[in-house]
Structure 1
């Protein structure tokens, strides 16, 4: 499960490289949209029970864009398409079949009609994020919502980088449970004569202030620790309609789940391979 910005949006990114200015009242002048399908294969995606890291395929519908005040990113993953029992996310593993991420942000610049940029900050947002898996009906699935503020920030070499600071509200437990800082980037760095290019793209999610949870004494009985995170570093080749790429993902007590605790492995490195068709 990754966060990336499609090559189809490269033109829109270049148009938005400067501070947003909506003082003329035209909040739709920077609108764009994109959608793509990613056929993925993941090795050592975490968390996983000890010794079950056989890898799995999945199909991802990824989409995003801008419409007026709304800046949207999202994807829907469907895991283990053939329900192959030899893969780690199979019908016997108690794993979710699907995962949905929606990340709408609402531009404060567009809502107020004012240029709120300063220094490297290009645009300000009210930021939200929703993570939901396919086990929600069973009562033990994932339903996390995040609420906070965000900005588009110009970072040396990386360029325009999305950054967000959230408070986490666990909708299943009906409680606030820590904070998350997120950043994501898409950096084309090598262009070819046929119009294709290579990009460095990825994201960082870091959580802290999480309530620790344990079902008894000892590390093996601990479910949650007080902090954790993940980082994805991808190298992709893009054309107008296709992309092919590899991503290395680092996990450290991911989602605040304790490595070596109830869930098994929650710290390590995963490998992601992708073939993409852009709509």
Structure 2
């Protein structure tokens, strides 16, 4: 599927990067390496490996800088619209004092799986009306494999999704989820149904070039609301919003991305409050969960 037709989806925790679903151009400087069946290992299951550097990421109580490895996969087969990725935090041993990962007793793996099942395909009915082209049962499962319960996340979002016809090259989709929270780094909302997420995904092709590359803008916004997490804790909030802006420059195999992501109370941490525990240096610190974070990535699609 094309990027314009199927916008990016993202999730959010302190170790995760923007994740991008797209189909790459059919030609480019790597075209001589294509097989007779096409440039990729599968005609529907697309994959890439990307090295990602991140700066000022605000999903946790402390801002995190990291350089890590990501394996990403996506595709559409019958009613299944699949997206997922696996991150290996601090894979290269580079990060700030708040960062930990696979080799220094932090989380060895952070993963997200986002399957959607087409209701139209499963029922054999065309359920489109107005601008709503197709309807899905939508899921988003997030797992952070921390070494202890207090360093682990285990979250399921479940709900409905739809792709929206804009009558233009702008790709647009919307998902509305209810959240089931199991482990959540020791937060008070563990093992409960707690809140909702509204997710809007959008993309726009900006152009193609004589060297076979294309440039695409991708955006996605997650708004979490209806939680009880902040009711009895001034350091937490019941709502959180993250808006992501991506420029993706890609060939058949090689791709580059630059990302600016805006956090408002990222991770449901209340910006400006004093943290309830010391930082990695043992000092008191103020929560800075609102502001910009950045990612840069270089990847290979196969």
TM-score in terms of structure 1 length:
0.81
Contact 2:174 2:200 in 1 (8 A): yes
Contact 2:73 2:85 in 1 (8 A): yes
Q: Deviations over 1:52-73 (max 9, x none)?
A: 65x2101111111112211111
Could you tell me how far apart the structure 2 residues matched to 1:67 and 1:73 are? 12
Equivalence for 1:195: 212
Structure with more of its chain in strand, by fraction: 1
Query: For structure 1, which segment, 130-139 or 64-73, has the greater mean C-alpha deviation from structure 2 after superposition?
Result: 130-139
Please list, as runs of the form range in 1=range in 2, the aligned pairs for 1:68-107 lying within 5 A after superposition.
68-84=78-94, 86=96, 88-90=98-100, 96-107=107-118
Local SS of the residue matching 1:65: strand
State the 1:104 CA deviation.
Answer: 0.5
Contact 1:38 1:275 in 2 (8 A): yes
1:3 to 15, 19, 23: 19
Q: Deviations over 1:163-221 (max 9, x none)?
A: 100001102322111110112233222111232110001211111011134776xx4xx
Contact 1:248 1:272 in 2 (8 A): yes
Contact 1:5 1:201 in 2 (8 A): no
Equivalence for 1:28: none
Aligned-residue CA RMSD (Å):
2.5
Aligned length: 252
Distance 1:95 1:44, change over 3 A: farther
Please list, as runs of the form range in 1=range in 2, the aligned pairs for 1:198-213 lying within 5 A after superposition.
198-213=215-230
Equivalence for 2:245: 233
Could you tell me how far apart the structure 2 residues matched to 1:273 and 1:178 are? 31
Could you tell me how far apart the structure 2 residues matched to 1:78 and 1:229 are? 25
